[in-house]
Amino acid sequence: MLDISRTDIEQEYIMKFGEDRFVKLPINGYMELLGISPNTTQNAIINCINSPKYRFVTAAVSRRQGKTYIANVIGQLVCLVPNSNVLLMSPNYSLSQISFDLQRNLIKHFELEVLRDNAKDKVIELSNHSTIRMGSVNQVDSVVGRSYDLIIFDEAALVDGKDAFNVALRPTLDKENSKALFISTPRGRNNWFAEFFQRGYSDQFPEWASVKATYHENPRISDEDIAEAKKTMSEAEFNQEYMADFNTYEGQVWGFNHENCVSDLAEIDTSKMDIFAGMDVGYKDPTAFCVIGYDWDAEKYYLLDEYLDAERTTEQHAEKIRALIHKWDIDYIYIDSAAQQTRFDFAQNYDITTMNAKKSVLDGIGHVAAICDNDKLLVDQRCKEALLSLDQYQWDPNPNLLREKPVHNYASHMADALRYALYSFETTATTF
């Protein structure tokens, strides 16, 4: 199924927008020369980009629909106008090489004259003085310092590119009618790509448009292909890769049910609950703190509040945590047992008492998983970091590991705090 957030965008044909269109050259003629008959997904993406109403386009597209190819085609179409600059961002060096090779092939196909082809920096300059440049999110500083007509984030969900775009790249879209395209298969719902996708459905972001396309929009996929995929893939992986589903993430550690377990807990009565917290200590990595209430009668946990920040002093963390202690009347704080200096400083200087957490990683993960699987953890809708960690905490895919372990990523810190709290409370509460 194809879903387009803005009702003025067509999917059956490439629309004509007059002089204000973004792509100045005839798109249909270009496609014919390539031997391409655009499918409905490609039509929708092109129309969103080409429309003068939309500056930012997010496309959630299922596997095998030629996402990278159509992104590169759009990029070259823009570069065929003299003095244009296009940036193609990828999660890493290997994926940026794919786009670089595609651009070379397109240039060869149309026999375009090239002034510069720099394989090291991945920059191509055409004889019309337009440039198309490849970049990776982990080296974003190397592509700033110039203005772009179009920035494309390919496979955007594979990496956290929010800061790269907001801080480094958005200021480079300073030309009239400059635009950005974010295109990817989804990877869970609590990440920057999902956030940008939702902007296309919001009246608060009128310059944003979004497209979602499942395998049904891909005429090259046969029924036999789909049957084979369903046999060889988990349901979560199939929904993610072929249905462009934001609700699942292959490799998730915890199967948290957003539909049933996220609500507004601001007015919940905590008077009969045990209130406790988990804390993971970091500096360069963030320090994470989560507040949980347990209702003995309902046998449910309520994630009520959170705190997460990096590169702060012990005093600064203590100030925030003391405020949460007073707000929720926290009974117990379970902290990483490796953070003994923090425990001492908290007790000595800030009158904050903590307890060493139970740290068995796999046992703790299993305990939290059982709570989530049975819908026993309810999360306040304002706890965005906790919701992100429940989605993005994932297993390391390395097949050579002797023992399964989670990936150390941004989601790990709040996930650790959550695990410390829930697993430690379960194993020690009866002793109080």
Please report, for the domain that includes residue 8, its CATH number.
3.40.50.300
Kindly report, residue by residue over 349-385, the tens digit of the pLDDT. 999 999 999 888 888 888 898 898 888 999 999 999 9
Give the residue from 55, 48, 132 showing the smallest Cα distance to 89: 132
End-to-end CA distance of the chain: 55
Q: Do the domain assignments include residue 236?
A: no
Range of the domain at 177: 2-224
DSSP string across 248-286: --TTBS----HHHHEE--TT---TTSEEEEEEE--SSSP
**Residue-level pLDDT at 98:** 86
Asked if residues 88 and 72 have their Cβ atoms less than 8 Å apart, the reply is yes
The answer to whether residues 270 and 185 belong to one domain is: no
Residues 293 and 358 in one domain: yes
305 and 195 part of one domain: no
pLDDT tens digits along 69-102: 899 999 999 999 999 999 999 887 777 888 999 9
Structure tokens at 388: 């992100």
φ, ψ dihedrals at 247, nearest 5°: -85, -10
Helix (H) or strand (E) holding 243: helix 235-243
Element (H, E) at 356: strand 355-356
Q: What's the CA gap between 112 and 128, in Å, rounded? A: 10
Query: Model pTM greater than 0.85?
Result: no
32 is a catalytic site residue: no
Q: Please tell me whether residues 120 and 165 are part of one structural domain.
A: yes
229: in domain:
no
One domain, residues 219 and 282: no
| Alpha-carbon span 28 to 30, nearest angstrom | 5
* Identified catalytic residue from 10, 12, 32, 155: 155
- Which pLDDT belongs to residue 431? 46
Does residue 49 sit in the same domain as residue 6? yes
The CATH number linked to 409 is 3.30.420.280
Q: Which amino acid is at 98?
A: I
Domain boundary among 204, 224, 244: 224
Q: Is residue 303 part of a domain?
A: yes
DSSP state of 300: E
pLDDT in tens, 32-73: 999 888 889 999 999 999 999 999 999 999 987 888 889 999
Q: What is the mean pLDDT of the segment spanning 260-273?
A: 91
Position 295 in a domain: yes
Q: Are residues 216 and 290 in the same domain?
A: no
Quickly state the pLDDT bin for 248 (edges 50, 70, 90): low
Q: Answer whether residue 415 is part of any domain.
A: yes
In a domain, 251, yes or no: no
> Does some domain include residue 289?
yes
123 and 213 belong to one structural domain: yes
Name residues whose C-beta falls within 8 Å of residue 97's C-beta, 6 or more positions apart in sequence. Answer: 122, 134
Rounded to the nearest 5 degrees, what angle is found at the Cα of 277, between the Cα atoms of 271 and 282? 155
Residue where a domain stops, chosen among 224, 244, 274: 224
* 241 within some domain: no
Q: Kindly state whether residues 178 and 293 are assigned to the same domain.
A: no
The answer, yes or no, to whether residue 398 has pLDDT greater than 90, is no
Per-residue pLDDT, 154: 92
224, 246, 270: which is the final residue of a domain? 224
Instruction: Count how many domains the chain has.
Output: 2
The pLDDT value recorded for residue 253 is 84
Counting Cα atoms < 13 Å in the Cβ hemisphere of 15 gives: 19
158 and 281 together in one domain: no
| Tens-place pLDDT, residues 277-321 | 999 998 888 999 999 999 998 889 999 999 999 889 999 999 999
* 274/377 same-domain check: yes
Task: Return the structure tokens found at 103.
Answer: 């651009």
Q: What is the pLDDT of residue 151?
A: 96
Please indicate, yes or no, whether residues 215 and 320 belong to a single structural domain of this protein.
no
- What's the per-residue H, E or C state across 359-418? CCHHHHHHHHHHHHHCCCEEEECCCHHHHHHHHHCEECCCCCCCCCCECCCCCHHHHHHH
